[in-house]
Amino acid sequence: MADQIDYGNLMHRAMRQLIREVLQRVADEGLPGEHHFFITIGTGQPGVQMADWLRDRYPDEMTIVIQNWFENLAVDEDGFAVTLNFGNSPEPLYIPFDAVSTFVDPSVEFGLRFETQDVPEDDDDGDDPDGDGDDRPEAEIVSLDKFRK
């Protein structure tokens, strides 16, 4: 048993669950009112599925917009699939929730940002990087200024 409560990891899971529930509602009922989402993803994260030309164009991260044109939104426990229009070319994507770095709904001034923790470079003791989950991102509220029109 741990000697501390891991609030960071608990908040991380709760915020990912919030995103999952919001996207599931949109998949079931469509976007209500003026709601729309800017979702920034790490394109090199494990499990991200996208066309090679998109990955070549956005090797580190990209922001997708779920607003006017999207199809086939499907949500599972680990992530979501959606087809978006890139230059009049529909492209299917699969995005694990762990690849999401920001989720913003500017219509209601709501946003989340998941900060990654830097692992010290001199920490080369042979441990498996996927071992205990301590390298998971921390969660915080995101400033909406960068998304304002």
User: In whole angstroms, what is the distance from residue 123 CA to residue 131 CA?
Assistant: 14
Residue 131 inside a domain? The answer is no
**pLDDT tens profile 37-93:** 999 999 999 999 999 999 999 999 999 999 988 999 999 999 999 999 988 889 999
CA angle, 107 as apex, 105 and 111 as ends, to 5°?
Answer: 30
CATH code: domain of residue 109 = 2.30.30.220
Domain that holds residue 48: 7-117+136-142
Which pLDDT value is given to residue 127?
Answer: 42
Q: Is the pTM of this model over 0.95?
A: no
Which of 121, 101, 107, 114 is CA-nearest to residue 141?
Answer: 114
Residue 130 inside a domain? The answer is no
How many folded domains does the chain comprise?
1
